[in-house]
Structure 1
Amino acid sequence: MQEIVGKALTVRELLKGVKYSIDYYQREYKWQTKQIQELVDDLTGKFLEGYEPGHARAEVAKYPHYFLGSIIISKKDNDRYIVDGQQRLTSLTLLITLLRRLQVGISQPVSVDELILSEKYGKKSFNLHVDELDRTRCMEALYEAQPFDPADSSESVRNLYGRFQDLEEYFPSELRADALPYFVDWLTEKVHLVEITAYSDDDAYTIFETMNDRGLSLSPTDMLKGYLLTNIADAAARAKADTRWRARIRELADAGKDVEPDFFKAWLRSQYATKIRERKKGAQPEDFDRIGTEFHRWLRSASQAIGLQTSDQYVRFIERDFDFYSRWYQRLVDASRGPVGGLEHVMYNADHGFTLQHMLLLAPLTPDDDQTVARRKIRLVARFVDILLAWRLWNFRSIAYSTLQYAMFLVMREIRGLEVGPLGERLHGALMRESETFASNDRLRVHQQNRYALHRMLARLTDYVETRSGLPSRYTDYVNAGKVRYEVEHIWADHPERYADEFSHPTDFAEHRNRIGGLLLLPKSFNASYGDDPYDEKLPHYNAQNLLARSLVPQCYEHNPGFLQFTQDTGLPFHPHPKFTKADLEERSDLYRRIAEQVWDPNDLLRDADF
């Protein structure tokens, strides 16, 4: 083995003007929303341990350091090839790109351009180089804040684009104003990585394998199991508990890579967390936070407080509690991935990337609940979350993990162990305390940051109209890229000159064109064929589409008993639109709002708790 060099570097030292190449077999970017959420939460949480609004910028030098891990580099002919750490460096580059955007227009921004790309002989290129044209186009669009359609890109590029959208969604609002340059200073100067450099591929991969494969390191779950079993005195009971534990862990592991550790965090938080760290300087991690980072250590320190003192109590903890909550968690994972009868709202919430829901869904459950009672409780909580998310999205409010974490912690603590009736009343009361509903915003419109969420909301509105009219549900078809790919499409083509008599300026036209009432969910092929046509020319083609689109067409109101009965039962003001003027668009916006009020009705919580 040749010389090996290890060096701790700040983010600025690591990325400024330094080119990293990624070999063809390392190109895939695989991080998902969960990893981005954890990265943002870890970094912002550590930053806020030091930050105070009155600080001078120089105070950042005294803020706590943060270690982001190591990367392994193979250096060949002055080129640096990443052997391990591509996921982390790519995600870090995306975060810095977002911070560059957020700093536009603020006084004294922190320059980060050289951390993203550099210039040589008059040509700019990204510091993290992948020889893939589509990826470069995507990064250029993100860097320049330009539109990019990842629909026909590779999975890796779609992930790249998707994770940037996640960063936009999850980066905390409280760090987007005065605190922003402080955070950028801290990230670039106080966050460190260790760069391990080898001078041959063989040496680099030897280091990688040694760091990742050597030894049999115990996972947090292994350590938790050891602690629990050690406290069971009877050998036969211990053996039985061990068998139960291994069987359930195996099933959780089979359900997905991170299902097992995520279960323990959701379970222990849902039943035992009583405090959460305040987001201010010097605040210490509380049980909610410790469960998220070291649940095995937390349980050891909290064992007496949660009722683990005798051998029998440890047996019951595994045989009853662990078994009960792990089985329900596994059902929730299944329900989040596809429609499960009676638990569809779990899937709807998962489709919005709302990872906080599992701890909420487990919170009211008790090991004495039978299947029927447990499902009713889960359905109530899932519907509560569904309504809350819909209200926030309708009002342009964030549903990011960091934004809602504290509020959801309070709800979780409030509903812990409740019976069905009181649970419905408590959740309904929590919604009644919200200040913004569908009625709060009559100008909902689609934009770059909410297109994904509005796609799902339009799918719900469309599905509601169709299922209430007696048609089968097609929600999953509308949101998943199957044989037919559905997209959010505008009723008006992007031709302001066609509407010059109603709009004096193109920007006014564009604002109205993007409003919810001017949108439909249609196959991508439809827009390619008719999207640019005048309304009166494409109107007949709507009659072959979903029922919400068809409702624009006069023929929809003829020989359509299911739909006509639906409109009569609900009182929704459907009517055909032979022309589509500004007034028509505003009528459709009001119609969509009324449909939304029926889809997401808080009183359903009281009705469901009562039946």
Structure 2
Amino acid sequence: MNQRIKNKIEATNISINALLKDQKFTIDYFQREYRWQDKHIKLLVEDLTTTFLKSYHPEHKRPEVSNYQSYYLGPVVFSENPDNGKKSIIDGQQRITSITLLLMYLNYLQKEQPQKVAISELIFSEKYGEKSFNMTDETRESCLKALFEDGDYTLTEDDDETVQNMVQRYGDIVQAFPEELTVKALPFFIDWFIENVVIVMITAYSDENAYTIFETMNDRGLNLTPTEMLKGYVLSKITDKKQRNEINGLWKTEIQKLHKYDKDADQGFFQAWFRGKYAVTIRPGKAGSEDQDFELIGSRFHNWFKDNHKALFNLETSDEFYEYFKNQFPFFVKWYLKIWDAQIKFDPSMPHANYINHWGIAESLQNPLLLASITLKDDADTIHQKIDFVSRYIETFTVKRAVNFRKFGQTSIKYTMFNVIKLIRNNDINTLGIHLAKEADSISESWNAVPEFILHGMNRKFVKHLLSRIASYLDNLIGKDTTYPTYHHPNGKQFEIEHIWADKFAEHKDEFEQENDFQYWRNSIGALLLLPQGTNQSFSSDQYTDKLGHYLKENTYAQTLHQMYYEKNPNFLKSETIQRLAFKAHPQFKKEDIQDREQLVQRICENLWAVDYFSGKIGEKA
């Protein structure tokens, strides 16, 4: 290789279109796994769509997109072999994979659109009828092919971490992408995404140089973070040296606590704290609007604090700064981390915090909501109940939206949730309950949609959540000590969604002429259960009458299908709640039986998410 070429390094600002069109990349061995979490992909979708909507106007023509605000996605590093032109991704695989997943979803959305943007060549190239994806890693091929063609992929036990994450992140994109961009605005957004999103492509022509660049980019050096700049400003406002040293030490201690959870937890904390307790404005949705409190806190909270501490925090004197950060700062760090713990590990004093960790809204809205009502004067029991109440409202909102096939990405709901943040800010527990009950009751989506709800390719995550909540709720009604994690994320054997009907259309031709109709009813919420992994596979293809005896050994919700359950468990029918729900056995399982179970699920949802929960007293079991 020519030494001059070997030592060459190029850096170019390019669009996604230029980066991906008709390109092939191999993935370097040391970073083969795709590990983005839901928070990363949701934040990306939120940032992209929010930036686009700042410029978009329905009256625009598509060429006007070229003048829209650009978005910088960061650098990617390649090592290119000058002899054959093959490129290896050294840094940026996570972002390129995420971009590809978003392009796949956008392409899926535009299938039925009259105006289509040519983006398939950014995802794959085709030769002799064979599709070859831009990232050449054979473990991804079947998953990418299914997602591209069908918008769905069924995971198997053999799928590795990368494939599992790709499927989950694709589902997160489906949920987070704003509904208002899926029809008329869609070609505008696609144009903007592939041409106005800017990436710095760095190309080295030797692996040695490429790795040197990679290491340099991942060395943060001495750049100050927003947290560090905020700290500097706060300390500069405290004139007493002893007090300043005390706050400096306290600051280090609290930031270390946050960093034990995540290297960026400090920034997430300040954004949640300031938005939850102090933000009073949010950018209007119309094109050309200026960022307001909510957005400014998200981007540069240290500057926002500097501009607003007098008006919104009532902080002006040295003593006021000292007292505020001595008391308020550690208090909110403590509860921010307690909320984090309760989301990860089920806490019976605030169970809904765990539920919304698996079926909630964007962290940029959820965390400010959870901090908004709590105050320094609240005792621990009151704070637990406040967190649980707010979490309960969030879950009610998301479940109602989901059974109505509505999305709740940040862009779609941020004005609603921002108004709730302001409404519940510093509420006492009784006022909070009244406000949240009213807000939950006024959610426009209705439980009447439950009988029409079905399992489809990209809502499996929600169906698992819904069935886990139903299963544990019914168990608890009859005195079993199971919890939501028992079914949703147990330590041992996992639970899977079970179709009561086997996938055998021929056995149901007495009721259905078309297989599509059969599949619709087979996927109805009334025809689904949760069963332990392995049990599901062992008799999933059996006829209903053969399965029924197995169901009698499972959770309460499955057991209620069998007549014997009612005969052996007379206490089940003594519960007033159970009587209102009106269970009945199903010796056979026909279309009419599915309709009965659909109505039962609706009644369970109405009870399970009833708004009288918000009038509960402190200490009552949730």
Could you say whether these structures have the same fold, taking a TM-score greater than 0.5 normalized by the shorter chain as the test?
yes
Q: For 1:255 and 1:565, locate their aligned partners in 2 and report how far apart those are by CA, in whole Å.
A: 46
Alignment of 1:461-610 (within 5 A): 461-480=470-489, 482-566=491-575, 570-608=579-617
Q: CA deviation at 1:601?
A: 0.7
Contact 2:450/2:598 (8 A) holds in 1: no
Distance 1:214 1:546 in 2: 51
| 1:380 alignment partner in structure 2 | 389
SS in 2 for 1:304: helix
Q: Is residue 313 of structure 2 the alignment partner of residue 304 of structure 1?
A: no
Q: Partner residue of 1:164? A: 170
8 A Cα contact 1:380 1:609, kept in partner? no
1:558: Cα distance to partner?
Answer: 2.6
Task: Give the Cα–Cα distance (whole angstroms) in 2 for the partners of residues 587 and 512 of structure 1.
Answer: 12
Q: Is the 8 A contact 1:45 1:279 kept in 2?
A: no
Shift of 1:149: 2.1
The aligned runs of 1:433-448 (5 Å cut-off) are 433-448=442-457
Residue of structure 1 equivalent to 2:221: 215
Rounded Cα–Cα distance in structure 2 between residues aligned with 1:249 and 1:164: 33
1:481 to partner: Cα distance = 6.0
Which of 343, 349, 353 is the equivalent residue of 1:342?
349
Pairwise mapping of residues 79-94 of structure 1 onto structure 2 (< 5 A)?
79-94=86-101
Tell me which residue corresponds to 2:202: 196
Give the SS at the match of 2:451.
Answer: coil
- The residue type equivalent to 1:330 in the other structure is L
Matching of residue 114 in structure 1 with residue 125 in structure 2: no
Q: Does 1:65 align with 2:74?
A: no
* Structure 1 position 96 matched with structure 2 position 103: yes
Distance 1:139 1:303 in 2: 49
Residues 129-208 of structure 1 aligned to structure 2 (within 5 Å) = 129-130=136-137, 132-133=138-139, 135-145=140-150, 147-152=152-157, 153-208=159-214
Deviations 1:77-105 (A, max 9, x none): 31111111111111111111111111112
1:450 corresponds in structure 2 to 459
Offset of residue 476 of structure 1? 0.9
8 Å CA contact 1:469, 1:565 repeated in 2: no
Determine if the alignment matches structure 1 residue 75 to structure 2 residue 84.
no
Greater shift, 382-391 or 284-293, is seen at 382-391
Secondary structure in structure 1 of the residue aligned to 2:306: helix
Question: What is the rounded CA distance, in whole Å, between the counterparts of 1:553 and 1:258 in structure 2?
Answer: 51
Deviation at 1:148, TM superposition (A): 1.8
Q: 1-side partners of 2:298 and 2:121: how far apart?
A: 35
What is the CA distance between 1:440 and its match in structure 2? 4.3
Match of 1:371 in 2: 380
Q: Which moved more, 1:450-459 or 1:298-307?
A: 298-307
Q: Decide whether the 8 Å contact of 2:178 with 2:407 is kept in 1.
A: no
Q: Percent identity?
A: 40
Q: CA deviation at 1:569?
A: 5.6
Q: Secondary structure at the match of 1:185?
A: helix
Q: Distance in 2 between matches of 1:186 and 1:400?
A: 20
- Answering whether residue 245 of structure 2 is matched by residue 236 of structure 1, we say no
Q: Which range moved further: 397-406 or 298-307? A: 397-406
Alpha carbons 2:153, 2:457 under 8 Å: kept: no
Change (3 A) 1:151 1:289: farther
Structure 1 residues 397 and 286 mapped into 2: Cα distance closer, same or farther (>3 Å)?
same
Mean Cα deviation higher: 41-50 or 340-349? 41-50
* Amino acid paired to 2:189: F
Please report how far the alpha carbon of residue 531 of structure 1 lies from its aligned counterpart in structure 2 after TM superposition.
Answer: 1.0
CA RMSD of aligned residues (A): 1.8
- In structure 1, the partner of 2:321 is 314
Contact 1:567 1:573 in 2 (8 A): no
170-179 vs 516-525, which moves further: 516-525
Per-residue deviation, 1:391:
1.5
Distance 1:58 1:357 in 2: 37
Give the direction of change, closer, same or farther, for the CA distance of 1:146–1:34 in structure 2 (3 Å limit).
Answer: closer
Q: SS of the residue aligned with 1:107? A: coil
Equivalent residues of 1:74, 1:204 under 8 A apart = yes
Instruction: Name the CA distance, whole Å, in 2 between partners of 1:119 and 1:151.
Output: 27
* 1:405 correspondence with 2:410: no
Give TM-score, length-normalised by structure 2: 0.94
1:604 and 1:485 map into 2 onto residues whose CA distance is 30
Q: Does structure 2 conserve the Cα–Cα contact (< 8 Å) formed by 1:424 and 1:608?
A: no
Distance 1:123 1:440, change over 3 A: closer
* Equivalent residue, structure 2, for 1:31: 36
Q: Is the 8 A contact 2:360 2:394 kept in 1?
A: no
One-letter amino acid matched to 2:367: H
Q: In 2, distance between residues paired with 1:243 and 1:288?
A: 29
- Distance (Å, rounded) in 2 between the aligned partners of 1:575 and 1:534: 20
Distance 1:25 1:582, change over 3 A: same
* Structure 1 residues 542 and 378, CA gap change in structure 2 (3 angstroms): same
Contact 2:450-2:601 at 8 Å conserved across structures: no
Structure 1 residues 214-261: Cα deviation after superposition (integer angstroms, max 9, x where no partner): 622222111111111111111111111112111111111112333222
Q: Deviation at 1:570?
A: 4.5
> Number of aligned pairs?
609
Structure 2 gaps, min length 5? 1-5
Of residues 198-207 and 251-260 in structure 1, the stretch that sits farther from structure 2 once superposed is 251-260
Letter in 2 for 1:435: S
Question: Aligned with 1:501: secondary structure?
Answer: coil
Q: Do the aligned partners of 2:560 and 2:585 also contact (CA within 8 Å) in 1?
A: yes
Match of 2:274 among 243, 268, 271: 268
Instruction: Give the distance between the partners of 1:481 and 1:420, measured in 2 at CA.
Output: 32
C-alpha separation between the residues in 2 aligned to 1:324 and 1:568?
40
2:34 aligned counterpart, secondary structure: coil
Deviation at 1:563, TM superposition (A): 2.5
What secondary structure does 2:201 align onto? strand
- Given candidates 428, 438, 459, the residue that maps to 2:437 is 428
